[in-house]
Amino acid sequence: MTRKKELTGKPAVMKEINISLIVDALQTLGSASRVELCNYTKISQPTVNQLIRELMTDNTVLSLGSADSTGGRKAEVFTLNSKRSAIACITVTMNGFTCCITDMNLTEECSFTCKHQDGASYTEELCTVIEKLLEEAPDTGAISIGLPGAVSEKGTVYAISQIPEWEDQDIGAILRKRFPLPVSVINDINATALGYLKIDESDCQNLIYLQINGTGLGAGIIIGRRLYHGFASFAGEAGYMQIGNRQSVESQLLCAEADERASLLSQIVINIICLLNPDKIVIGGAEITDQFMSIIEAACKKALPPSVLPVLSGTSSSTECYQKGLADRGFSLLDKGVHLLK
């Protein structure tokens, strides 16, 4: 089933939205009957029936046969065809590229790394690794790139000190000219925040992912299960925040010992709770330990009422969630003229 990229008319738009809801529901639930899809998506039974037929014709959805009967007519159960399209995910750092292919269930199928060669163009190296990924998985339907810089709503990369070559460049547009596939380019911390939201099982609506890395500090902000960018895509640049002595947080982190760093981060967390009051805050970074987190938790409990405290958790490695967020971003590009942005 080929869908037009540009939709006109309300019925066509509503159809694409309903398709998106059904596909997202099957990805979340794993499998479901028509009735279960109606209940989950709030779409009418006749509409679900019609769209399931179209998605089966398109091979997007597969039938698993009849569910075990509890009396009455057996219900047919459907699942997403996870092998229909693959997603190419690439994380970029100043040192090189980590690449993987996932299926539509976001399960990794293969991976490899490629080091950056001194003096070489990052853009050309990126195109080379994409070509290799497409050779490994010719059925790739989308490309998802994560990088250590800000990305504007128009796709322009900026504040990417690790890779000056990409400053003020629209990397997505460059790649779309080279490869006939939809491309997503996203900040690494934002992608990680999406990954944590994806694996969360508590129906979390508002989540903050804070990452402390050496002297750097950044945040991915999820509000209403959607990534919040701010009007200039600057939301989450927590290192510029000023606390206490009118110096930026990053400049204070530069000369702080471990306990001082935890205390400083505690103030950031308390301010975030007061400003946004999220359901959950995840703090990531190589130096995050139980002791580090205990300092933050104690400070929050001392400063704030117990009833407003979010779930706090820490991790020394967020690689898996970073990849999951990239894959989910790529999944949102697959065959959806209209989709629900995260």
Interior angle at CA 200, CA 228 and CA 223, nearest 5: 20
pLDDT at residue 194 tops 80: yes
The predicted model scores a pTM of: 0.83
- Give per-residue pLDDT as tens, 256-312: 888 888 898 999 999 999 999 999 999 999 889 999 999 999 999 999 999 999 999
Q: Which of 121-130, 146-155, 315-324 has the highest mean pLDDT?
A: 121-130
What Rg, from alpha-carbon coordinates, does the chain have?
Answer: 22
41-62: average pLDDT:
91
The predicted pLDDT at position 338 comes to: 43
CB 114 within 8 A of CB 99: yes
What is the dihedral sign for C-alpha 232, 235, 236, 238?
positive
Distance between CA atoms of residues 45 and 132, nearest Å? 44
pLDDT at residue 195 tops 80: yes
318-330: average pLDDT:
93
pLDDT-derived band of residue 335, with 50, 70 and 90 as boundaries? low
The predicted pLDDT at position 3 comes to: 42
pLDDT-derived band of residue 336, with 50, 70 and 90 as boundaries? low
Q: Pick from 77, 89, 66, 219: which is nearest to 142 by CA?
A: 89
List, in sequence order, the alpha helices (H) in 137-287.
Answer: 171-178, 188-199, 249-254, 258-276
64-72: average pLDDT:
72
The predicted pLDDT at position 185 comes to: 96
Q: List the structure tokens of 138.
A: 């010719």
Residues in the chain: 342
Q: List the structure tokens of 260.
A: 């001082």
What's the mean pLDDT when you consider all of the chain?
89
122-128: average pLDDT:
97
The predicted pLDDT at position 69 comes to: 60
135-156: average pLDDT:
92
Q: How many CB atoms lie within 10 A of CB 277?
A: 12
Percentage of the chain lying above the pLDDT 70 cut: 93
The predicted pLDDT at position 281 comes to: 97
- Give per-residue pLDDT as tens, 216-258: 889 999 999 999 999 888 899 888 888 877 788 888 888 888 8
Distance between CA atoms of residues 265 and 94, nearest Å? 26
The predicted pLDDT at position 12 comes to: 77
Structural domains of the chain, ranges and CATH numbers in brackets: 10-80 (1.10.10.10), 86-191+321-331 (3.30.420.40), 199-318 (3.30.420.40)
Distance between CA atoms of residues 141 and 135, nearest Å? 13
HEC secondary structure over 73-132: CCCEEEEECCCCCEEEEEEEECCEEEEEEECCCCCEEEEEEEECCCCCCHHHHHHHHHHH
